[in-house]
Amino acid sequence: MTLIQTSQRSIAIIPAEQGHQRNQAITVRAVHNTQDSPMRRTLDAYGIDDTRGVLSQLNREKYHVLVKKNRSGSPDLTHGAYVSKQDEDGYGNFSWLNPKGLIKYQTKDVAVITFANKDQLAQLSDTYLETPLPDFLIKILNVEACPDTDLYRQNASLAEFISPIDLTQHGYLIRPNSPYSDEKLLDTYVNAPQTLKNSRHGIILCTYAIHPAIYSAFLAARHYQSGLGRLEASQQTSQRTIGDKTKLESLTSILSLKQEHLPQLEKLRLGTLQHLRDVYAVDEHDSTRMFFHFPVAEKTATLHLHTWVNKGDHPLNEPRSFDLDTIIAHLKTGEDIGDLVLSRNEGSYFLPVSDSIKDISGIPFKGLSDNALNLPL
């Protein structure tokens, strides 16, 4: 290295082209700027590579990822990653994929589920109907002590109920997806939800369909009374039983959705956008996604909508994500949801090996395959 020794002088207002004349001790490092010009010599003097040519290539690949690596060059997934996706993210715009999602989806192998016909979809729907409501949802509806009810006690606006348009429809309970948030992040949801959209975490909500016959002390306190009956939400009551007693089928997955649900789905979409504006100050400049997963695990087999704002995603999560707008548009054609499911990747779905979905009785599990949908880390 060469030291250029000169007298001291403030550099705050000196043009960059004159920087090589500044009266400072400047360390000259080995850099790759080859063009001979005052600007290049200034960059050389400060050890700065002009990487504009490299940066211009960023969004030419489908995914560009920034991830922390250890000294040997191996990615450290425990820090998460910043992801930029071609044709969706603007130049230099990266969204954070949290460690839980990154570790779950960035795997060597995947489980392959392939549906060949609607009979297999009907069998899965029957399996879902035999499950009760998810345990955490039962606790919320009955106002039992749990992290979620404690969250809403601290900030009631975090949970909003979109009421059914009539007694043939389900309502929808919008809420933060608390299992994907640590204690510090949940504190932000409570005390400063408007700041989340500009944080690396973004906003993660999960909205569950609520059968109109379910009696809920939580909803009653919010001035909603069920009209079909006063069925208790409990682990002893299957969703099939709810449907048999009320003659209104419980919505367990996207397979339950039909044309008759269109008005409620459109109300759900508008209500979700309004909730995002009112509680989280989300506007048209933010990246908002609303989607359903399929297939789902038995323990979460009640129709639920994921809402993400300014949040990164993993390629493995995308094939089994059905956007709300896609569902609405498909139902408007008059076709069955099963047609949409069977046409996606020719009926094949790829899941992390750790996911319990592959173990559902009767599901068409075809074995393991190399994960072709990993991020380029």
- Per-residue pLDDT of 261-285, as tens digits, reads 999 999 999 999 999 999 999 999 9
Residue 91: which pLDDT band, with cuts at 50, 70 and 90?
confident
Whether 171 and 206 share a structural domain: yes
Residue 16: which pLDDT band, with cuts at 50, 70 and 90?
very low
Query: What's the confidence (pLDDT) of residue 10?
Result: 36
Asked whether residue 377 is assigned to any structural domain, the reply reads no
Tell me what the pLDDT averaged over the chain comes to. 88
Which residue has better confidence, 135 or 18? 135
Whether 153 and 272 share a structural domain: yes
pLDDT over 50 (residue 259): yes
Which residue has better confidence, 323 or 93? 323
Residue 131: which pLDDT band, with cuts at 50, 70 and 90?
very high
Assess contact for 340 and 255: CB atoms under 8 A. Answer: no
Q: Is 214 left (phi over 0), alpha (psi -120 to 50) or beta?
A: beta
Whether 98 and 156 share a structural domain: no
Whether 274 and 251 share a structural domain: yes
> Per mean pLDDT, which range of 21-30, 267-276, 289-298 is the poorest?
21-30
Query: What's the confidence (pLDDT) of residue 33?
Result: 53
pTM of the model: 0.83
Query: What's the confidence (pLDDT) of residue 361?
Result: 95
pLDDT over 80 (residue 20): no
pLDDT over 80 (residue 309): yes
Whether 268 and 349 share a structural domain: yes
What Rg value do the Cα atoms of the chain yield, rounded? 26
- Per-residue pLDDT of 189-247, as tens digits, reads 999 999 999 999 999 999 999 999 999 999 999 878 776 667 889 999 999 999 999 99
Beta bridge partners of 69: 75
> Per mean pLDDT, which range of 23-32, 87-96, 259-268 is the poorest?
23-32
CA 135 to chain centre: 22
Percent of the chain at pLDDT > 90 equals 76
For residue 122, the domain's CATH number is 3.30.428.10
Whether 127 and 170 share a structural domain: yes
Q: What is the mean pLDDT of residues 82-110?
A: 90
pLDDT over 60 (residue 324): yes
Percent of the chain at pLDDT > 70 equals 84
Assess contact for 255 and 303: CB atoms under 8 A. Answer: no
| Structure token pair of residue 34 | 């080859």
pLDDT over 50 (residue 166): yes
Whether 90 and 161 share a structural domain: no
Residues 6+ apart with CB under 8 A from 201: 96, 98, 181, 185, 188, 311
Number of domains composing the chain: 3
Cα separation values, 35 from 26, 38, 43, 44, 248, Å = 20, 9, 11, 11, 74
> Is residue 206 helix, strand or coil?
strand
Question: What is the spatial distance between Cα 335 and Cα 313, in angstroms, rounded to a whole number?
Answer: 29
Whether 95 and 114 share a structural domain: no
CA 36 to chain centre: 48
Residue 90: which pLDDT band, with cuts at 50, 70 and 90?
confident
Whether 221 and 82 share a structural domain: no
| Structure token pair of residue 65 | 């990822």
Query: What's the confidence (pLDDT) of residue 34?
Result: 55
Query: What's the confidence (pLDDT) of residue 2?
Result: 41
- Most confident range (mean pLDDT) of 31-40, 43-52, 261-270 is 261-270
Asked whether residue 375 is assigned to any structural domain, the reply reads no
Whether 29 and 98 share a structural domain: no
pLDDT over 80 (residue 24): no
Question: Domain span at residue 42?
Answer: 2-50
Asked whether residue 313 is assigned to any structural domain, the reply reads yes
Which residue has better confidence, 29 or 66? 66
Whether 170 and 87 share a structural domain: no
Q: What is the mean pLDDT of residues 286-291?
A: 96
Burial of 336 (0-12, 13-18, 19+ CB in 10 A): middle
- Per-residue pLDDT of 72-81, as tens digits, reads 999 999 999 9
